[in-house]
Structure 1
Amino acid sequence: LAQQVAADAIDLVKHCRGLRIATIVGGMPYQMQIARLQNANLVVATPGRLLDLASSGQIKLDQVRFLVMDEADRMLDLGFADALAEVHQLTAQRQQTMMFSATFAPRIQQLALRVMHDGGSKVQKVQVDTPQQSHANIRQELYWADSPEHKRRLLDYWLRDPGIDQAIVFACTQIECESLAEELQQTGFAAVSLHGALSQAVRNRRLGALRDGRVQILVATDVAARGIDVPTITHVINFGLPMKAEDYTHRIGRTGRAGRDGLAVTLAEIRDRRRLADIEAYTQQHFRPLTIDGLEPTKFFPPIQEQRPPARKGAGGAGRRPGGRAGAPRRDFGEPRGPRQFEPRAGFGRRDENPFSAPKAGLRKSATAPLRQAQAAPAKRAAKPYSPRNTGR
């Protein structure tokens, strides 16, 4: 993602004189990156390598004027919290902080506000589209599978779709990603895997092969859910469902790029019904299960229905949201803070304190109630005539 952002930035400033752009990412040679840092005006970096160079004196961050965090929710939510806290301290004199993401969960908004000027009281939220309104050009379909073997046959059907150009197949784990890519290769597909255990050089080669058209199918974990911009990806197939509902939005956004139409196919087993309910609740869109002639499921699958648990008596009334405090209003990102609720903690700003840390109670995930036990009549999808795709492209 950093390399892609840097490439776009170079295109944007190619008519401006005296602007130098440097890319700093892990897994690449230090000396080459240090040379690029000379007189650089814009540095696109991953947090770890940036701090490595800062600690060795190769880059000084006390003169930074603008700090931009792309995919900020993922960085705040995962293992970069400590690194971002240090970057926050090293760039304390900056004029502006900007955070970008297609999704911003409420719990992450609270973390983000802690590193804004004046405690976040003057934050402005600019929203182009919402997860509920976006992806109008992407058709989303759900297919139930009786077993892993049944799901594999459904995957094979879709990968032989005559309308496919290139596809990303998302898996849950690195092991599943590798095994599925090997199985597809043995079946005759031009497929490669992409996950976090691969070196940066290997990732670059495989993404380059995807962009050049030498690879038709990329089997990936959620490491590929953000940042990959390949307009020829026509299909996204969720072979394994994401752990978090917001990641579904990022996954399907890999298709339908540059004004094109796309198709997002989700293959699910009965054990996935709770994750599907979370996705429905987050996107405010309901899946209508479809079937393929000859590949229909034989088991009963109850309809997906996300239900909120009833509020406890005397604990905030019927409108109380799960996990929230009684009577506490829900604030949106950028909304002015009340003086008491958002008063900075004692000692905030010290180097030994991580401003990105949040109370554990604030990280609880909303619970979903049991599903209704009524049977949903799945819609029939006519089988497509197809022939094995020539994968030697």
Structure 2
Amino acid sequence: MSFEALGLHPSILKALTDAGYTKPTPVQEQAVPAAIQGKDLLVSSQTGSGKTAAFMLPSLHRLADQEPSGGRTPNQERQAAQARGERPRFRPAQPKMLVLTPTRELALQVTTNTDKYAVNLRRMKAVSILGGMPYPKQMQLLSRNPEILVATPGRLIDHMESGKIDFSQLQILVLDEADRMLDMGFIDDIEKIVAATPESRQTMLFSATLDGVVGNMARRITKDPLTIQIASTTAKHENIQQRVHFVDDLSHKNRLLDHLLRDETLDQAVVFTATKRDADTIADRLNIAGFSAAALHGDMHQGARNRTLDGLRRGNVKVLVATDVAARGIDVPNITHVFNYDLPKFPEDYVHRIGRTGRAGRNGLAISLVNHSEGMHVRRIERFTKQTIPVNVVEGFEPKRSAPPRSAARPGWKPGDGRKPGQRSFGKPGAPREGGAHYRSEGAPFRTEGQREGGYRSEGGFRSEGGFRKEGGYRSEGGFRREGGGYKGSAPRTGDAPRRPWGDR
């Protein structure tokens, strides 16, 4: 199918041709004709599937066929007020289309693509309203009364409450990456924004999944929607080669990363970390090592984030070190490699991460640097993606321990089965030992080499409310279970009963 067959406005078709677009993606083939007809849409598609064009092209088509808004423009009103010797009265912006996104980067990406598609529609203006952008600049953008508003929920609420935005003329509402917005705690903001829009609006919701909370919200805010499911998040990235490299400790991981970043086939790379602090630290270390690296995370000011992304797109930044949220929406075709310096918290995020490479059908390489204690985490990712990730070893950077056997993925396998006899299954959750690797998610305790090798951490921190599972049983509230039965705090043993390997407490 061609874009002409979708029935798009001639000015939009010319912009697509000039931008090098040849044919629509599967999600565009299904979503564009239905959206042109004004139907509400619920769309589940994987990252990099072309979903921005899937909702923006039909929206531009509908708005392009409408007459310009009546009345004076804001500039004309200001000039008339000045001619009368009066102070110009502020008029709230009345957009016709609103796109909500979870992150600033994704909002800017949507705005950039919109400008590309609407380059021949002179009257069509799209602006971004984001946290981190100075208020005077945002007031200047809103004073233009743009047709299209792309915003993050928090900052949009601020302008709504101060009377700077009026949604009475809104015709189209789009929720992009709705699942991510809910994960980030924006559900109350979204409900408030939706309530401020006309019920006659067209609503399009795009999400990696349409289950659970996302599905419940989608049904509340749409009317007789058409559901389009192109591919689930578990779809295989056929054009992305995936590898796992096991590492012994932090020093081993850093040396291996430096080596892999010198691959001659590498054009640009994204290195994912679990925390903002690690992103800064690793970027600084890579710059000292001679790489052109930059960090990207949520604590950076918008100006610094924009400069970093602009440097990445221009090719001035070769290695971007980023956290999950900050990297959402990045679409740079020259990214050939993705490195998981820290494994993601959820398997779904692994799919989103590796999707930063292999864009538009190109080939890519995704490499995960994994400590031996994270074997179970790798199995979870493999079960989610329904594919096995091969383990690779680089000559000269071999780990001291061999990779765990693949049979460890069988359903009955326990995370602690590989623990050395007598090894303690608890440790102090503080800074890692000297030379030891640490693995943590934002807001979660440290994972250190001093804790058991076969264990894993749960979403909220370390496993089990009362402690870790031991060979002989589970920890009780009063202490640890003994191999021979009984718990700490029970009647003392008599005779020559064997002592526990770590001694009686």
Secondary structure of the equivalent of 1:291?
coil
How far does residue 64 in structure 1 lie from its aligned partner after superposition? Answer: 2.0
- The code of the aligned residue for 2:163 comes to G
Q: Confirm or deny: 8 A CA contact 1:168 1:218 kept in the other structure.
A: yes
The match for 2:118 among 3, 9, 13 is 13
The match for 1:73 among 163, 171, 179 is 179
Relative distance call for 1:94 and 1:286 in structure 2 (3 A) is farther
The match for 1:59 among 165, 187, 190 is 165
Residues 224-235 of structure 1 aligned to structure 2 (within 5 Å): 224-235=326-337
**Inter-partner Cα distance in structure 1 for 2:299 and 2:265:** 32
With a CA cutoff of 8 Å and minimum separation of 6, indicate the structure with the bigger relative contact order.
Answer: 1
**Inter-partner Cα distance in structure 2 for 1:276 and 1:107:** 25
How far does residue 259 in structure 1 lie from its aligned partner after superposition? Answer: 2.5
Residues 132-171 of structure 1 aligned to structure 2 (within 5 Å): 132-171=234-273
For the pair 1:27 / 2:136, whether they are aligned, the reply is no
**Inter-partner Cα distance in structure 2 for 1:296 and 1:179:** 25
Residue deviations 1:271-292 (CA, integer Å, cap 9, x gap)? 3223222211221111121111
**Equivalent residue number for residue 307 of structure 1:** 411
- The code of the aligned residue for 1:44 comes to V
Relative distance call for 1:308 and 1:110 in structure 2 (3 A) is farther
The match for 1:112 among 214, 217, 220 is 217
**Inter-partner Cα distance in structure 2 for 1:63 and 1:213:** 41
How far does residue 116 in structure 1 lie from its aligned partner after superposition? Answer: 2.8
How far does residue 34 in structure 1 lie from its aligned partner after superposition? Answer: 2.4
The match for 2:357 among 232, 255, 259 is 255
When structure 1 is superposed on structure 2, of 16-25 and 42-51 the one drifting more is: 16-25
**Inter-partner Cα distance in structure 1 for 2:172 and 2:203:** 6
For the pair 1:40 / 2:118, whether they are aligned, the reply is no
Residue deviations 1:130-157 (CA, integer Å, cap 9, x gap)? 3333421111111111222222222112
How far does residue 108 in structure 1 lie from its aligned partner after superposition? Answer: 4.0
- Residues matched between the structures, number: 309
Relative distance call for 1:94 and 1:268 in structure 2 (3 A) is farther
Relative distance call for 1:94 and 1:52 in structure 2 (3 A) is farther
**Inter-partner Cα distance in structure 2 for 1:204 and 1:214:** 13
TM-score scaled to structure 1, two decimals? 0.73
Residue identity (%): 42
**Inter-partner Cα distance in structure 1 for 2:225 and 2:372:** 43
Relative distance call for 1:112 and 1:302 in structure 2 (3 A) is farther
**Inter-partner Cα distance in structure 1 for 2:167 and 2:371:** 49
The match for 1:84 among 190, 198, 201 is 190
**Inter-partner Cα distance in structure 2 for 1:39 and 1:200:** 23
Q: Which has the greater radius of gyration?
A: 2
**Inter-partner Cα distance in structure 1 for 2:343 and 2:137:** 39
For the pair 1:123 / 2:229, whether they are aligned, the reply is no
Residues 170-209 of structure 1 aligned to structure 2 (within 5 Å): 170-209=272-311
**Inter-partner Cα distance in structure 2 for 1:266 and 1:202:** 28
Q: Which runs of 5+ in 1 are unaligned?
A: 310-362, 371-393
Secondary structure of the equivalent of 2:229?
coil
Q: Confirm or deny: 8 A CA contact 1:195 1:221 kept in the other structure.
A: yes
Residues 294-333 of structure 1 aligned to structure 2 (within 5 Å): 294-300=396-402, 301-303=404-406, 305=409, 307=411
- The code of the aligned residue for 2:209 comes to F
Q: Which runs of 5+ in 2 are unaligned?
A: 1-105, 414-458, 464-468, 470-505
**Inter-partner Cα distance in structure 2 for 1:94 and 1:9:** 24
Q: Confirm or deny: 8 A CA contact 2:338 2:354 kept in the other structure.
A: yes
How far does residue 245 in structure 1 lie from its aligned partner after superposition? Answer: 0.9
Secondary structure of the equivalent of 2:205?
strand
How far does residue 308 in structure 1 lie from its aligned partner after superposition? Answer: 8.2
Residue deviations 1:157-181 (CA, integer Å, cap 9, x gap)? 2101111111110011112111111
How far does residue 190 in structure 1 lie from its aligned partner after superposition? Answer: 1.0
How far does residue 7 in structure 1 lie from its aligned partner after superposition? Answer: 1.3
- Which consecutive aligned stretches of 4+ in structure 1 deviate over 6 angstroms post-superposition? none
